[in-house]
Amino acid sequence: MTDRLIVVGGDAAGMSAASQARRLRPESELEITAFEKGEFTSYSACGTPYLVGKVVEDYEDLISRTPEEHRARGIDVRTGHEVTAIDTDARTVTVLDAVMGSTATHSYDELLIATGAKPLRPPLEGVDGRGIFGLQNLTDGIALRSFIDAQRPKHAVVVGGGYIGLEMAEALVLRDVHTTLVDQAPQPMTTLDPDMGAIVADALQGLGVELRLGESVLGFDLDDSGHVKAVRTGSGTVPADIVVLGVGVRPNSGLAQASGIPIGTTGGIVVDRRMHTPVDHVWAAGDCVETFHRVSRAAVAIALGTHANKQGVVAGTNIGGGYLTFPGVIGTAATKVCSWEIARTGLREADARKAGFETVAATVDSTTRAGYYPGSEPIKVRIVAEKVSGRILGGQIIGSEGAAKRIDVLAVAIWNEMSAGELVMTDISYTPAVGPVWDPVLQAARIAYREARGLGT
């Protein structure tokens, strides 16, 4: 008898899982149907700011596999189909065909929920005005770019200084739109410690972005046609004919919740290490789930393409009859703004203390190449470590080209619970063209270790 897998959501997690399950079980054994509300599958959501900024010309470049390509591989993808309800007892889903306007019920043997995340939309006056955009999926990116192409906005306000906010601010500057970034926090990138956030602020200003930090958005002024014309903050009014909301995302877990599938404290769907939910035959993967942070040991919901892809492979392997587990995350993330690469991993100092660690921290200024080698640029590395043991708990790096990938040294070190003292002596690479003889990461580790052991710098 042929089993049937139904996948809800056709991007990274859903289609990685579908593809992996297909690899392990032929069509004669497992029929796979993927319902996708939108029109695209398997695209790079992380690439949408570059589409808006015209760094990437064609949206098709962001698509790694189209519905047709999936179908050619034996996955029945149905775009424009929204799953509106799940009956986990009857093992059925209710599906709305947006084009036909019809509803149908499909039964499953295994169900994978991969509904992703949705951007937070603060319940402020005027937030639904025209010209106010969230940015979560490719359709959003295409709409935003079309709006810029057609309307030629002059003044943009980006609300929120996280990854999306920063990347969108740069994209808007690239499109010659005067851009103001408003954030209620005193620094952009609150995922960084304050001294590192200050550098990001300088970089944004260098790019021409006007910063209004420590200001809350109170509402949006709309003109008679319902189009945004200004953003009201606690400190004044900022003219704007386009607004991008980058105030964060949350797991898009409403469908699961309405179906009685347990939701965690983070708002993400609860899954075990195989990406199985507590409900029989129901799996979940990607931005809609909560996962385990290996340093804080807390449940976290982090919307990130890397996790979604990995979790998709894990879910698909298990659904396909194999065995694979997702080991959790440590909060690694990176972005590039202008010529600055920004990367972080593990816990910020404040988070580490909240998690019960007593901490020390070290920040060093160094260079991306040997000082004498042409093209050597500044890089700043911060390491947070546990007092006494020197165990590395977190790291942050800001610098020019070559800076971000250095975070991976810290990520793998944190993964393995290495102490900063051990890392100092670890045999990592050196050649003058790619670093000083003491890599900036090792320099920071050395100071962090000495601080942890009370040896002074």
**Bridge partners of residue 392, in order along the sequence:** 385
State the minimum distance, in angstroms, from the CB of residue 336 to its own copies: 4
Q: Binding residues for its own copies, how many (CB under 8 A)? A: 67
Phi, psi of 131 (to 5 degrees): 90, 0
**388 is a contact residue toward its own copies (CB under 8 A):** no
- Whole-angstrom distance, CA of residue 367 vs CA of residue 430: 13
**81 is a contact residue toward its own copies (CB under 8 A):** no
Q: Are strands 392-399 and 378-386 parallel, antiparallel or unpaired?
A: antiparallel
Q: Pick from 370, 365, 388, 363: which is nearest to 453 by CA?
A: 388
Residue 83, amino acid: V
Candidate segments 97-105, 132-140, 199-207, 370-378, binder of its own copies by CB under 8 A:
370-378
State the minimum distance, in angstroms, from the CB of residue 163 to its own copies: 8
- Whole-angstrom distance, CA of residue 149 vs CA of residue 431: 45
Considering only 75, 415, 447, 450, the residue that binds its own copies (CB under 8 A) is 415
46, 96, 298, 355: which one is catalytic? 46
- Whole-angstrom distance, CA of residue 229 vs CA of residue 27: 54
Residue 56's contacts (CB-CB under 8 Å, 6 or more residues apart) are 47, 50, 62
**300 is a contact residue toward its own copies (CB under 8 A):** no
Phi, psi of 92 (to 5 degrees): -135, 160
Q: Pick from 85, 69, 120: which is nearest to 6 by CA?
A: 85
CB-nearer residue toward its own copies: 239 or 322:
322
Candidate segments 56-64, 71-79, 228-236, 256-264, binder of its own copies by CB under 8 A:
56-64
**181 is a contact residue toward its own copies (CB under 8 A):** no
**409 is a contact residue toward its own copies (CB under 8 A):** yes
Residue 295, amino acid: V
Considering only 4, 305, 363, 378, the residue that binds its own copies (CB under 8 A) is 305
In the residue annotation, 46 being an active-site residue is answered as yes
CB-nearer residue toward its own copies: 55 or 98:
55
Question: Is 353:359 a contact under the CB 8 Å cutoff?
Answer: yes
Start-to-end CA distance of the chain, whole Å, equals 68
**378 is a contact residue toward its own copies (CB under 8 A):** no
**372 is a contact residue toward its own copies (CB under 8 A):** yes
State the minimum distance, in angstroms, from the CB of residue 338 to its own copies: 11
Total number of residues shown for the chain: 457
- Whole-angstrom distance, CA of residue 107 vs CA of residue 318: 20
**257 is a contact residue toward its own copies (CB under 8 A):** no
**304 is a contact residue toward its own copies (CB under 8 A):** yes
**395 is a contact residue toward its own copies (CB under 8 A):** no
Considering only 4, 39, 46, 106, the residue that binds its own copies (CB under 8 A) is 46
**319 is a contact residue toward its own copies (CB under 8 A):** no
Considering only 330, 364, 384, 398, the residue that binds its own copies (CB under 8 A) is 330
Question: Is 24:317 a contact under the CB 8 Å cutoff?
Answer: yes
Q: Show the tokens assigned to 279.
A: 């409900």
Q: Pick from 205, 202, 200, 196: which is nearest to 380 by CA?
A: 196
| Positions marked catalytic | 46
Which residues of this protein are in contact with its own copies, per CB under 8 A?
12, 44, 46-47, 50, 55-56, 61-62, 304-307, 309-310, 314, 325-336, 341, 343, 345, 370-374, 401-402, 404-409, 411-413, 415-416, 418, 422-435, 437-439
